[in-house]
Structure 1
Amino acid sequence: MAVAAITTTPKQKSSPQPKPKTKPKKQPLPAGQPREWYESHNRRLKAMRLAIALLDTGVYNPVNASNRRIRTLAQRIGIHPPSNTTCRMVRSLIHYAN
């Protein structure tokens, strides 16, 4: 009894490869600004990161974003505890997100 040999190669599945997550290049901040400008810039960035994290956890109402909750989340995601001013900024960002 003869056995047929398979001579064709199987078709490769062409599944799209996921793009690797790349972080955007960090650019240095502009020189020559007063110290307050750098402080407020970094405060806004921190508030934005915290607001996004809160929205991802399901906190959509600023009333539910207490200082304690914001600081606990900051500790969980590895950010230094925010000040009262930054917590206020986080709540205002959540307010405008809705």
Structure 2
Amino acid sequence: MTASTLVPVKKKPLPAGLPREWYENHNRRLKAMRLAISLLDAGTYDAKRATNRKIRSMAVRTGIHRPSNTTCRLVRSLMT
């Protein structure tokens, strides 16, 4: 399958009525996943080399809001 034949997954709305913390954690995981993928695409394959500064500069380059320290830790844990 080539990149031109891939079809994006249809987004579903998030479930209603869950605690605010659930939504915050969900969005944090999505942001960390996007940043980890961007870092891997850019050649940073080792979590030890993914410093907070490097993660935050990648966020600026990809148009993602500045990640917190918690999100940076999550990015590194996804890369291991």
Normalised by the length of structure 2, the TM-score is 0.89
Return the structure number with greater relative CO, CA threshold 8 A, min gap 6.
2
The answer to whether structure 1 residue 76 and structure 2 residue 61 are counterparts is: yes
Moved beyond 3 Å, runs of 4+: 18-22
Q: Counting helix residues as a fraction of each chain, which structure ranks higher?
A: 2
Extract unaligned runs of 5+ from structure 2.
none
User: Which structure would you say has the larger Rg?
Assistant: 1
Task: Give the match for residue 27 of structure 2.
Answer: 42
The answer to whether structure 1 residue 64 and structure 2 residue 64 are counterparts is: no
Q: How many aligned positions are there?
A: 78
Provide the rounded CA distance (Å) in 1 between the counterparts of 2:78 and 2:60.
19
Normalised by the length of structure 1, the TM-score is 0.74
Extract unaligned runs of 5+ from structure 1.
1-17
Superposed CA deviations along residues 28-62 of structure 1, whole A, max 9, x for unmatched, are: 00011000000000000000000011111111111
Match of 1:23, SS state, is coil
